[in-house]
Amino acid sequence: MGNFFRDKIKALVFLLLAIVLILQPSGFHNSRAQAQGKAVTILFTSDMHDNFLPFKSVTDGKITSLGGYARLMTAIEQQRQLDPEAVLVDGGDYSMGTPFQTIFASKSPQLRIMGSMGYDATTFGNHEYDYRPEGLAKSLESAIASGEPLPAIVQANVTFPADKDGKMSDDLARLKNAMEEYKVRDYIVIERNGVRIGIFGIMGKESASMAPMSGVVFTDPVESAKKVVKALKEQEQVDLIICLSHSGTSIKKDKSEDVILAKWVPDIDVIISGHSHTRLEEPIIVGNTVIGSPEDYGRYLGVIKLVQSEAGSWELEKYQLVLIDEGLKEDEGLARRIEEFKAMVQEEYFELYGIEYDEVIAYSPFQFQTPDEISRVHADSTIGNLIGDAYIYAVKKAEGANYEPVAAAVVPTGTVRSTIYKGPVTVADAFCISSLGVGADGIPGYPLISVYLTGKELKTLCEVDASIAPIMSTAQLYPAGLSYSFNPNRLIFNKVTDVALMDADGIKTEIDDKKLYRVIAGLYSAQMLSVVGEKSFGLMSLVPKNKDGEPITDFEEHIIYQNIDGKQQEVKEWYAIVEYLKSFDQVEGVSQIPDYYSQTHGRKIVDDNKNIINLVKNPNAISLTVYIAVPLLAALIIFLLVKLVKLIRRRIRRQG
């Protein structure tokens, strides 16, 4: 009898539990969707920049080790255990940033590694075009020739311009053919968990402007996205749309390109946001669009899980950034592959310079500022100062007895890609600081070039930093050989209050406005000097010249060369840093970075004085125009208002 009642009670409990589960008003809706197979997991990365190996980072004052593809692979596999059909995508700029970029064209390790990791798709960022059309073409050709699995590449707004005769340059034609052979397309359609998914790629406006050597033309991202989304919905009949957008987000809503994209193309379900290197701890939700961004360099694996409601809409169930740190074991197979590519880097690239990938070239007793830190503050910089000094040192060494005095060297924030951490500094570490670009020789790394500016233009250069950097942070400049003060509260284009030449001993010399001064900069940076007029609305002008004062039309004719083992080679930005770091006094055979670089030395002085006299004294032509125009305009407005009042009074009298 006892067993009979116990069985009845158990049955009653199970019945009550079943009723509760059925009537549960919330929390189990998603479980029903999952049971029906209508759930999708999206794993995502962006802006990996060739960080195959773990890299140093500072967390709470401690140097830690983050990232690394072999660790990332472990994190991916852990997520695949939860959902074997998870989608894996990347938001672009998968290349350029470490020595692995040096075999981008010849071996294409980026696409081959991503293929072996099971990436479904990626898109091109601006840095994939760094090695010009031919470099990207070679990379795609190398990837295809490997015969290995490769990720799909989607980019919906890239076009190939022809000249007025309808012909295309040879290198651009080669890139077009390589893209066609690789099957780079506007979008792909895949199916996971019974869900038909459309994935397309977009290059944003700002990122497109940072690919000046690409040779291609990018159409409007929003209009291009509208066309692709229409095709995906009407022709492909997809259930879910993912956009790999190399556009980015910003705290300023009017400049947050991916927020704008989501607003104007609301049928996009998910935007994987690249380019701005933003870490979104929580997704940005615009209407029904989920925007995710996993920062950069493979620090995090992004996870988005969506479930479909009975009405057909997608609901966010999970958003997570999984930290890729030392707590994750490396995937052994992938680690071996990366070491194989590392050996290729040594053989194909560093052997040209007679140095080794992991060779220790210096020791730093202190920590330099990181790129993120210097981009947030408009001020002098220890790492910027060291790089500028390295440029001048390398030119002196390369030219020897034929050295022509250099007045200044210029380093923009946008070209500083890494920093010097406390401890040993290797060749690879130095390379990562100034890793971008390619020279006229076709060898990776921007070369140093020599240009001449008048004294007046040197002062304008300082004004570029003072006035344009707050608008465009990548334009912040670090000068070697100059000392200048600026007041951020003064009128734009008249913020600089004092400029002088300053030698290594800190001795200042007055600048002659009409004299030509020799200036050293990287190839890309020097080319960007000529667009100052555009960025300053035509109010400032910088015209790089040769030593005879003639405007430069071909910057590559002014590259600095050095002799290495009897061969003439371009002085690369990164190699200048290597040479300079090796030049300091040694302790037990290792060069020691001097304490001089533990602080700044008045090269760029910020004067935050808000006193009215300091704000208006020493006006330039632009300020004088404003100071005269504003009172005149005010007087005109007052005059018109007085006239208007008199006219109204007359009419009132007449009517009275």
Is it the case that residue 613 has pLDDT exceeding 80? no
Q: What is the Cα–Cα distance from 337 to 334, expressed in whole angstroms?
A: 5
Which one has a higher pLDDT value, 135 or 311? 135
Which residue type is seen at 457? E
How many angstroms from the chain centroid is the CA of residue 525? 15
In order of 9, 12, 20, 387, 561, the CA distances from 15 in angstroms are 10, 5, 9, 74, 84
Q: How far apart are the first and last CA of the chain?
A: 109
Q: Report which of 144, 136, 115, 242 is spatially closest to residue 188, judged by C-alpha positions.
A: 242
Q: What is the pLDDT of residues 202-215, one digit of tens each?
A: 999 999 998 988 99
- As given in the structure block, the two tokens for residue 398 are 């390369």
* Structure-model confidence comparison of residues 613 and 124, the more confident one: 124
The confidence score (pLDDT) of residue 95 equals 97
- The DSSP letter of residue 442 is S
Tell me which amino acid residue 21 is: L
Segment 327-336 mean pLDDT: 97
- Model confidence at 641, in pLDDT bands (50, 70, 90)? confident
pLDDT tens readout for residues 124-165: 999 999 999 999 999 999 999 999 999 999 999 999 998 777
Distance between CA 40 and CA 85 in Å, rounded?
Answer: 8
pLDDT in the model for residue 656: 61
Residue ranges in 329-381 assigned as alpha helix (H): 332-348, 371-376
Q: What is the C-alpha separation between 468 and 607, in angstroms, rounded?
A: 17
DSSP string, 231-263: HHHHTS--SEEEEEEET---SSGGG-HHHHHHH
pLDDT digits (tens, 9 = 90+) for 46-90: 999 999 999 999 887 788 999 999 999 999 999 999 999 999 999
Residue 211 in tokens: 């690919």
Over the Cα atoms of the chain, what is R_g? 29
Distance CA 37, CA 40 (A): 9
Predicted TM-score of the model (pTM): 0.86
Q: Rounded to whole angstroms, how far apart are CA atoms 288 and 626?
A: 47
Least Cα distance to 252 among 290, 214, 278 occurs for: 278
Q: How many CB atoms lie within 10 A of CB 611?
A: 10
Candidates 156, 162, 163; CA nearest to 179 is: 156
CA distance 210 to 28: 47
Average of per-residue pLDDT across 511-519: 96
Average pLDDT over residues 584-612: 92
Q: Which of 152-166, 379-393, 395-409, 418-432 shows the lowest mean pLDDT across its residues?
A: 152-166
Residue 26 — very low, low, confident or very high, per pLDDT cuts 50/70/90? very low
Work out the burial of residue 238: count CB atoms within 10 Å of its CB; fewer than 13 is exposed, 13-18 middle, 19 or more buried. buried
Which residue from 204, 278, 187, 202 is spatially nearest to 240, judged by alpha carbons? 187
Phi, psi for residue 492 in degrees, rounded to 5? -55, 145
Q: How many CA atoms lie within 13 A of 645 on its CB side?
A: 6
